[in-house]
Structure 1
Amino acid sequence: MIVKRSVTIRGHRTSISIEDAFWLRLRRLAEERAVPLAALVAEIDKARPPTTNLSSAIRLFVLEDALSDRGETLSGPAALP
């Protein structure tokens, strides 16, 4: 289920429509990195292409993190050293 959530990034309040599973994993990633959730969202916002909305950028960030745990990337298996 997609839920609309509010977050303040760089002093600007915005809403994000995102599924619970992605939101919970994003919160866990912020905790693991010892940064506030809003700071992590701000990092994702800053790095996203201008044509990608914030909710999609968050989903891709969480997916990329999950794939990296398996040695993969969004474009395929990670290169071996």
Structure 2
Amino acid sequence: MGSLKKRSVNLAGHATSLALEPEFWAALDGIAKQDAISIAALIQRIDVGRGERPLASACRVYALERAGA
């Protein structure tokens, strides 16, 4: 996997920066497209259900779960 790429997203009215490997961003972009929502909406969905897990970890796990891993 490559180096981390940062993106800014707005979660609950607060700007947040999220760093993931490009491969995970590609997977999340594909999921958002498949679900016909924005990447921000997808990350908000993940954020709501992540519990105590860090957001970046929750995004990676979500991408893997959706991939059927």
Q: Higher strand proportion, which one?
A: 1
Q: Which amino acid aligns with 2:38?
A: P
Q: Which amino acid aligns with 1:5?
A: R
CA RMSD of aligned residues (A): 1.1
> For structure 1, which runs of at least 5 residues remain unmatched after alignment?
73-81
**Residue of structure 2 equivalent to 1:8:** 10
Q: Higher helix proportion, which one?
A: 2
Q: TM-score by structure 1 length?
A: 0.76
SS at match of 1:15: strand
**Residue of structure 1 equivalent to 2:25:** 23
Q: TM-score by structure 2 length?
A: 0.88
Q: Provide the C-alpha distance between the structure 2 equivalents of 1:57 and 1:17, rounded to a whole number of angstroms.
A: 12
Tell me which stretches of 4 or more aligned residues in structure 1 moved more than 2 Å: none
1:33 pairs with 2:35: yes
Higher relative contact order (CA 8 A, sep 6+): 2
> For structure 2, which runs of at least 5 residues remain unmatched after alignment?
none
Q: Provide the C-alpha distance between the structure 2 equivalents of 1:27 and 1:14, rounded to a whole number of angstroms.
A: 18
**Residue of structure 1 equivalent to 2:55:** 54
Percent identity over the alignment is: 40
